[in-house]
Chain A
Amino acid sequence: MSGRHLLGVGDLGAEGIGEVLRLAETFEEVGRRPIPRVPALRGKTVVSTFFEESTRTRLSFELAAKRLSADLSTFSSASSSLKKGESLRDTVLTIEAMGVDAFVVRHACAGVPAQVAGWLSGEASVVNAGDGAHEHPTQALLDCYTLVRERRARFGAEPQRPLALAGLHVAIVGDIRHSRVARSCLLAFSALGASVTLVAPPTLLPPALEGWPVEVSHDLDALLPKCDVVYLLRLQNERMEGQFLPSPREYTATYGLTAERARLLGPSALVMHPGPVRRGVELAAEVADGPASLVTSQVASGVAVRMAVLYLLLGSGALVGA
Chain B
Amino acid sequence: MVVVCLLFAGCTGKPSEVSPRTGPPSSAASPITSTQVSADPATGLSVLGRVGELSGHATDGTWFDSRELDGCVWIAILLPESGVPGPLVAALAKLSTAVEKLPEQREIHLVCFRQSPPANSPPQPPFSPSAAWKIVTLATDQVSVWSKTALGESAAENAETSGDSPPCLVLVDATGRVRGRDYSPTPEGLPLLVDDLRRTFAERKAVPPEIVNPPWFASRREAQLVAAKDYSAQHDFQFTDRRIESGIRFRNKIVDDAGKFYKAGHYDHGNGVAIADADLDGREDIYFVNQVGGNELWRNLGGGKFENITSASGVALADRIGVSASFADIDNDGDPDLYVTTTRGGNALFENDGTGHFRDISVASGTNYVGHSSAAVFFDFNRDGLLDLFVVNVGRFTSDERKRVTMEPLRDELQGEYFYYDAYKDAFAGHLKPERAERSILYQNLGGNVFRDVTEVMGLVDESWSGDASPLDVNSDGWPDLYLVNMQGNDEYYENVKGQSFVCKSREVFPKTPWGSMGIKSFDFDNDGDLDLFVTDMHSDMSSHIGPEREQLKSDMKFPDSFLQTQGQSLYGNAFFRNAGNGKFEEVSDSVGAENYWPWGLSVGDLNADGFQDVFIASSMNLPFRYGVNSVLLNDRGRKFLGSEFVLGVEPRRGGRTAIPWYEVGCGGADAGHLDCQGRSGRVVVWAALGSRSSVIFDLDQDGDLDIVTNDFNSEPLVLVSNFAERHPKLQYLKVRLRGTASSRQGLGAVVRVKAGKQVWTQVHDGKSGYLSQSADLLYFGLGSITQLDELEIQWPSGRRQTVPGPLSLNVVLDVTENKE
A, B co-complexed: no
Interfacial residues, chain A to chain B (CB-CB below 8 A)? none
Interface residues, chain B, with chain A CB atoms under 8 Å away: none
